[in-house]
């Protein structure tokens, strides 16, 4: 019995061992079959990879020389230009119909030029029209069908660096650097922009001193015809009365730029210094003879000698608390700002439709037009600044500043600063006086700032 039990045990072990080896043989056979199939696949020829064929480059269009009749003149219709090139009524109607998908033909200004390329019949089968300064509209006639496509006008980026040494004003500064690459109109616009950048730090008509030095680096997008598509300052440095002011731009909403000093502090104040760019005719005064009432009384604001209809801008963002007629003030808008501050704009000829009590307005938004309503001898703007309910002189009150660079963006700002400030180094200064601004522009500048 014992031997049988032992034999049985041994036999069982042997039998169990035999079963465990059978799956291993199956796996090995499957592996051999897979190897054989793989080897056979290596012997099969693969199809050749497709030959690279570059995309065809369109042939350049042979545009016809421009004729005098290809340019729209005052009172001339687009159909007349097309008819002069041999187009029949059906073609003219179809071309105008396609153009209307982009703009009305009536809005094409005199001086707009068309270009034509002749087809096999001698009648143009391609037309090129400057839709905007930055887009071209192509008309293509193929297989008896006209089609259109828009092509952007190319531009190149360039950088100009200009220096200016103040003689009497920036308009008559001794200029150097790349001044020959900057036209008169562009320089005039640049001066206005510089005045806006430093508006809270420097009055360009009063604070500049003989010998002050300005250096700017400007990045521009230039079209093929030399016109400027857009531009913005890369860096600015102004040495004024012993102090050095620097401005570094950072992108802001709406495609604009906000400017900061080299430490990241905003150059922009929470309030504009003036609501209209015209000279001051009457200052803040605690005792002034009123020209209409013929008595001495406080003049608790500033009068700007602006012409009737001139736009009035909100000096800061705020909530409208009054928009209507108020006694001697005439038509008046009052805005409430953070920090118990209020501003008033009086003697208006009209108030903007969206300016009503409870509405919010933004800094620089047009809130009305200059007039002479109320007790006023003529068109002007009366502007008041109140702090905690008390009138303050807008030119002397300490105004709050805009926020500095956010801490999360500080490192990025410092990298930008270290990249652009070296552009200001070594800009040459011209010896002979050079002024690109016209007399009219200088007069306008004085009117904006006084």
| Structural Rg of the chain based on CA atoms | 38
Closest CA to 204 of 196, 212, 213, 195: 195
| Closest residue by Cα to residue 239 from 289, 166, 175, 310 | 166
In this predicted structure, what is the pLDDT of residue 170? 81
What confidence score (pLDDT) does residue 287 get? 56
Q: What is the mean pLDDT of each run of 10 residues along the chain (450 residues)?
A: 38 41 52 59 49 54 85 87 92 94 90 89 90 92 91 93 88 86 85 86 81 94 89 93 92 84 88 84 68 62 92 93 94 92 95 95 93 90 92 82 86 94 84 48 37
Give the number of other Cβ atoms within 10 Å of residue 269's Cβ: 17
Q: pLDDT value at position 286?
A: 62
Would you state the pLDDT for residue 94? 94
- CA dihedral sign, ordered 429, 434, 438, 441: positive
Q: Which helix (H) or strand (E) holds 140?
A: strand 135-142
Copy the structure tokens of residue 37: 């199939």
pLDDT score of 48: 52
Quick one: tokens of 275?
């609501």
pLDDT attached to residue 15: 42
Name 369's bridge partners: 311, 350
Which residues have C-beta within 8 Å of that of residue 10, sequence separation ≥ 6? none
Say if CB 24 and CB 31 are below 8 A apart. no
Find the Cα–Cα–Cα–Cα dihedral 359, 197, 227, 439, rounded to 10°.
100
What is the predicted pLDDT for the residue at 35?
59
pTM of the model: 0.58
pLDDT of residue 158: 93
Q: Which residues contact 384 (CB under 8 A, 6 or more apart)?
A: 300, 301, 302, 343, 344, 346, 391, 394
Token look-up 């030399």 returns 226
**177-214 as b/e, with b when 16 or more CB fall inside 10 Å?**
bbbeebeeebbbebbbbbbebbbbbbebbeebeeebbb
Beta strands 213-222; 174-177: pairing state = unpaired
Helix (H) / strand (E) element for 426: namely: none
Q: What are phi and psi of 94, to 5 degrees?
A: -70, -40
Q: Is 17 left (phi over 0), alpha (psi -120 to 50) or beta?
A: alpha
Task: Identify whether the C-beta of residue 288 lies closer than 8 Å to the C-beta of residue 282.
Answer: yes
Torsion region of 171: left, alpha or beta (phi above 0 gives left; psi -120 to 50 gives alpha): alpha
| Three-state secondary-structure class, residue 320 | strand
pLDDT at 208: 87
The pLDDT assigned to 20 comes to 43
Residue 138's closest CA among 329, 118, 130, 288?
130
- CA nearest to 231, candidates 263, 259, 190: 190
Q: What's the CA gap between 443 and 402, in Å, rounded? A: 31
- Judge whether 226 and 159 are in contact, CB under 8 Å: no
């Amino acid at each position: 019995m014992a031997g049988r039990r032992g034999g049985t045990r041994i036999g069982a072990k042997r039998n169990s061992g035999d079963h465990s080896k059978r799956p291993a043989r199956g796996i090995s056979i499957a592996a051999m079959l897979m190897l054989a199939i793989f080897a056979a696949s290596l012997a099969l020829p693969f199809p050749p990879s497709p030959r690279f064929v570059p995309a065809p480059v369109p042939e350049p269009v042979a545009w016809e020389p421009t004729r005098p009749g290809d340019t729209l003149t005052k009172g001339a219709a687009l159909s007349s230009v097309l008819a002069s090139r041999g187009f029949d009524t059906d073609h003219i109607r179809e071309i105008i119909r396609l153009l209307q998908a982009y703009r009305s033909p009536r809005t094409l200004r005199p001086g707009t030029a068309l270009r034509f390329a002749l087809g096999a019949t001698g009648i143009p089968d391609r037309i090129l029209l400057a839709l905007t300064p930055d887009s071209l509209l192509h008309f293509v006639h193929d297989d008896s069908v006209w089609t259109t496509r828009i092509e952007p006008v190319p531009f190149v980026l360039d950088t100009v660096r200009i220096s200016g040494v103040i003689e009497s004003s920036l308009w008559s500064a001794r200029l150097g650097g790349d001044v020959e690459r900057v036209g008169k109109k562009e320089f005039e616009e640049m001066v206005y922009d510089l005045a806006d950048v430093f508006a809270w730090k420097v009055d360009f008509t009063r604070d500049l001193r003989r010998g002050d030095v300005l250096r700017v680096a400007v990045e521009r997008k230039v079209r093929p015809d030399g016109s400027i598509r857009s531009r913005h300052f890369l860096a600015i440095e102004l040495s004024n009365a012993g102090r050095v002011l620097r401005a570094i731009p950072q992108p802001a909403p709406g495609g604009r730029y906000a400017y900061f000093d080299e430490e990241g502090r905003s150059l922009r104040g929470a309030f504009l210094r003036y609501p209209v760019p015209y000279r001051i005719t009457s200052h803040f005064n605690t005792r002034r003879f009123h020209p209409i009432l013929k008595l001495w009384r406080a003049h608790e604001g500033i009068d700007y000698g602006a012409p009737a209809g001139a736009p009035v801008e909100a000096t800061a963002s705020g909530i409208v608390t009054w928009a209507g007629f108020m006694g001697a003030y005439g038509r008046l808008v009052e805005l409430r700002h953070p920090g118990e501050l209020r501003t008033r704009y009086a003697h208006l000829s009209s108030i903007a439709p969206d300016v009503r009590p409870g509405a919010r307005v933004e800094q620089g938004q047009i809130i009305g037009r200059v007039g002479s309503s109320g007790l006023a001898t003529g068109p002007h703007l009366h502007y008041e600044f109140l702090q905690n309910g008390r009138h303050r002189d807008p030119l002397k009150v300490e105004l709050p500043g805009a926020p500095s660079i956010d801490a999360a963006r500080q490192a990025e700002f410092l990298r930008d600063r270290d990249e652009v400030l070296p552009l200001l180094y070594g800009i040459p200064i011209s010896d002979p006086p050079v002024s690109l601004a016209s007399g009219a522009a200088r007069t306008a500048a004085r009117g904006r700032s006084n």
